[in-house]
Amino acid sequence: MSFISYLISGISLGSIYAIIALGYTMVYGIAKMLNFAHGDIIMVGGYAVFTIGITCGMNKWIAMLVGVVVCTVLGIVIEKVAYKPLRGASSLAVLITAIGVSYLLQNLALLIFGSNPKSFTSVVSVPMIKLANGELTITGETIVTIIVCIIIMVVLTLFINKTKAGRAMLAVSEDKGAAQLMGVNVNGTIALTFAIGSALAAVAGILLCSAYPQIIPTTGAMPGIKAFTAAVFGGIGSIPGALIGGIILGVIESLGQAYISSQLADAIVFSVLIIVLLVKPTGIFGKKINEKV
C-alpha cells in the first residue's frame, strides 16, 4: 500500500513539474530560447500570494488571482526588457541574460523578504481521503494538483489547436518569417507565450507552496531545473512531452526517495535524464530539432 501512496505523491509532484515544464517548452518552441528565469517566476508567484493572502489577510482567491496577474505581467516585462532586444543575438548571449534575470529575481526577493523562510498556508481546502481502511491517505493538495494539471493540459491543447492565436503560435514556432508573411505578429505571439508560461508558473508556485508550505528566495530554483529536465526528457518543444516528462520525473523522484535514498533522489533524477538523452537525444516526444543559431 505504501508503494501506491509514493506513486500518487510522485504523480502529484510530477504534475507540478509538468505545469512548470509547459512554460519552458512553449517558450523554447516559439522563441527558441531557454528561459532559465522561468523557475523564479514560481517563487515570485508564491511571495505574491503570501503577501496578499497572509500579510494583508485578503481572501485566498483574490490572493491567487493577484499572484497569477503579477507573474503574467512580470513574464511579459522580462521578455520585453531582457530578451526582445537580443532577438537575433547568439543563443549564448540569451542564455547568459536569462541566468542574470534569474539571479536578479532571487536577489530582489532576498532584499524584500529576507532569507528566513516564510510559512505559507495551503490554499487547498479539499479534505484528505482515506482508502483501504485508512492504510492509504491522499492529501487534498495531491488531489487538487493532479486535477489542476489535467485541466491545464486540456485547455492548453484546445487553445493551441482550436484558436487562431494558437495556430499562430504553431506557425511562429515552425517558421517566423513565413508566419509574418501570413500576417502573424511574431512579437505579439512571443509575448503571449511568455504570458501564458508565466501564468502557469504562478499556478505551479501556488500548488508547490501549498504542498511544501515554506517559501524562500530560491524556492523556484530546484523545481525550475527539474521541470527543465522534464521538458528535455519529454522532448523540448512538445506539450505532451512536458506532461509525460514531468510525471515520470516526479514518480522517479518520489520512488527514489522512498526506496533508494532521500539524499540521492535528485542525483537519480538527473542520472535518468542523462541516460535518456544518450539513448534518444531529442527526448521521448522529440522531433528533429531545427536549431536556430
Partner 1 sequence: MAMLTVKDLEVYYGVIKAIKGVSFEVNEGEIIALIGANGAGKTTILHTITGLISPKNGSIEFEGKDLTKTPAHKIVSMGMAHVPEGRRIFQELTVLENLKLGAYTRKDKKEIAETLEKVYERFPRLKERYKQVAGTLSGGEQQMLAMGRALMSHPKIILMDEPSMGLSPLLVSEIFDIIKVIKEAGTTVLLVEQNAKKALSVADRAYVLETGNIVKEGKASDLLNDDSIKKAYLGE
Residues that bind partner 1 (CB under 8 A): 164, 167-168, 170-171, 174-175, 177-186, 287
Closest distance of CB 165 from partner 1, Å: 10
DSSP for residue 127:
P
Which of 66, 26, 29 lies closest to 49 in space, CA to CA? 66
Task: Cell numbers for 12, please give them.
Answer: 502529484
Our CB check for partner 1 shows the closer of 108 and 165 to be 165
- Which is nearer to partner 1, 76 or 170 (by Cβ)? 170
Q: Which is nearer to partner 1, 236 or 273 (CB)?
A: 236
Cβ 81 to partner 1, closest distance in Å? 20
Which of residues 16 and 171 has its CB atom nearest to partner 1 in the complex? 171
- CA angle 270/273/279 to nearest 5° reads 150
Task: Return the C-alpha torsion angle 140, 141, 147, 149, nearest 10.
Answer: 180
Alpha-carbon distances, residue 8 vs 194, 204, 255 (angstroms): 30, 17, 10
Over 78-126, what HEC string results? HHHHHHHHHCCCCHHHHHHHHHHHHHHHHHHHHHHHCCCCEECCCCCCC
Shortest Å, Cβ 75 to partner 1: 22
CA distance 242 to 231: 5
Tell me which H or E stretch contains 215: strand 214-215
Minimum CB distance to partner 1 smaller for 157 or for 180:
180
The residue among 234 and 256 lying less far from partner 1, judged by its C-beta, is: 234
Alpha carbon of 241 to those of 18, 28, 55, 129, 261: distances in Å? 9, 13, 38, 30, 27
Q: Considering the complex, what minimum distance in angstroms separates the CB of residue 206 from partner 1?
A: 33
Phi and psi for 129 in degrees, rounded to 5?
-115, 145
Least distance from C-beta 185 to partner 1, angstroms? 5
Report the nearest approach of partner 1 to the CB of residue 35 (Å).
23
135 versus 174: smaller Cβ distance to partner 1: 174
Q: How far is the CB of 159 from partner 1 (least distance, A)?
A: 15
Q: Which residues contact 12 (CB under 8 A, 6 or more apart)?
A: 141, 142, 145, 146, 211, 250
